[in-house]
């Protein structure tokens, strides 16, 4: 299974990615997670990425494409992968097509998760992430059993630096300008499936898994 999760910040891509990779036994490649890992490690890449991320801007295409290209060439991507948060621009989508063409493989489906703007802001501002295992919660819509602690590993929950109201509005604007046009791009390729992301987490998961299992 070779697939992409497309959707604005807060649509539920990371939440659903956890379910899909478990169901289809494929690696989860989140460019946002790769940047956050590099920030934590204090690498040059992390420092450069952070300067864009904190402003709600996209990291330049050359940096992102090189990282994804390297990652897709690794052994565990031979039988499939889930891309989460990549591609985000027309340049990135074209670069990905080239990489896949050179690897002689093709995308099976692109899952486009749709959610209304007001709801996106509430979701992003209330998002909490486990510092240890990266599991995602929401203070209202998907709370952990013990406040501030992860149900899965007991790790401390925290808020991402870029999950502020000001930054999320910018990120949504950037999504509308740069990423939303990819919906047409993948519709033209015949791989796009649109899912209503406003339903419950479980219902959205069931609909995505069913769409990925369908032949056409």
Active site residues: 13, 88, 127, 160, 171
Cβ atoms 173, 134 nearer than 8 A:
no
Q: Is 23 helix (H, G, I), strand (E, B) or coil?
A: helix
CA dihedral (76, 79, 82, 87) positive or negative: positive
Is residue 37 close enough to count as binding ligand ADP by CB under 6 A? no
- Residue 92's contacts (CB-CB under 8 Å, 6 or more residues apart) are 61, 64, 65, 68, 86
81-84 β-sheet, strand order: 28-30, 81-84, 2-6, 109-114, 192-196
Of 63, 103, 201, 212, the one binding ligand ADP by CB under 6 A: 201
Of 138, 155, 186, 207, the one binding ligand ADP by CB under 6 A: 138
Is residue 56 close enough to count as binding ligand ADP by CB under 6 A? no
7 contacts which partner out of ligand ADP, ligand AMP, none, CB within 5 to 8 A by kind? Answer: ligand ADP
Is residue 35 close enough to count as binding ligand AMP by CB under 6 A? yes
Cβ atoms 47, 209 nearer than 8 A:
no
CB closer to ligand AMP, 35 vs 186: 35
Is residue 129 close enough to count as binding ligand AMP by CB under 6 A? no
CB atoms near residue 41 (< 10 Å): 9
CB closer to ligand ADP, 103 vs 158: 158
Element (H, E) at 102: helix 90-103
Is residue 53 close enough to count as binding ligand AMP by CB under 6 A? yes
Of 2, 3, 4, 10, the one binding ligand ADP by CB under 6 A: 10
Applying CB under 6 A, the site for ligand AMP has a residue count of: 17
Chain length of the chain? 216
How large is the angle between the packed helices 44-53 and 31-41, nearest 10 degrees?
A: 120
Of 123, 130, 192, 208, the one binding ligand ADP by CB under 6 A: 123
Element (H, E) at 111: strand 109-114
Using CB under 6 A, list all residues that contact ligand AMP. 9, 31-32, 35, 52-53, 56-59, 64, 85-86, 88, 92, 162, 171
Using CB under 6 A, list all residues that contact ligand ADP. 7, 9-15, 123, 126-127, 136-138, 141-142, 197, 200-201, 204
């Amino acid at each position: 299974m070779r697939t992409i999760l497309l959707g604005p910040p807060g649509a539920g891509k990371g939440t659903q990615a956890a379910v899909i990779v478990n169901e289809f036994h494929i690696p989860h490649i989140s460019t946002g997670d790769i940047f956050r890992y590099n920030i934590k490690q204090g690498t040059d890449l992390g420092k450069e990425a952070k300067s864009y991320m904190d402003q709600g801007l996209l990291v330049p295409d050359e940096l992102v494409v090189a990282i994804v290209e390297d990652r897709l060439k690794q052994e565990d991507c031979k039988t499939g992968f889930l891309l989460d948060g990549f591609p985000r621009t027309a340049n990135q989508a074209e670069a990905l097509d080239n990489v896949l063409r050179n690897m002689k493989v093709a995308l099976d489906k692109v899952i486009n998760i749709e959610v209304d703007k007001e709801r996106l802001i509430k979701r992003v501002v209330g998002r909490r992430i486990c510092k240890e295992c990266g599991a995602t919660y929401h203070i209202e819509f998907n709370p952990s059993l013990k406040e501030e602690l992860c149900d899965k590993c007991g790790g401390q929950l925290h808020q991402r630096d870029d999950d502020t109201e000001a930054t999320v509005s910018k990120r949504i604007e950037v999504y509308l300008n740069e990423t939303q046009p990819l919906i047409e791009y993948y519709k033209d390729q015949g791989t796009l499936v649109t899912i209503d992301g406003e339903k419950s987490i479980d219902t959205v998961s069931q609909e995505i898994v069913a769409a990925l299992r369908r032949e056409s």
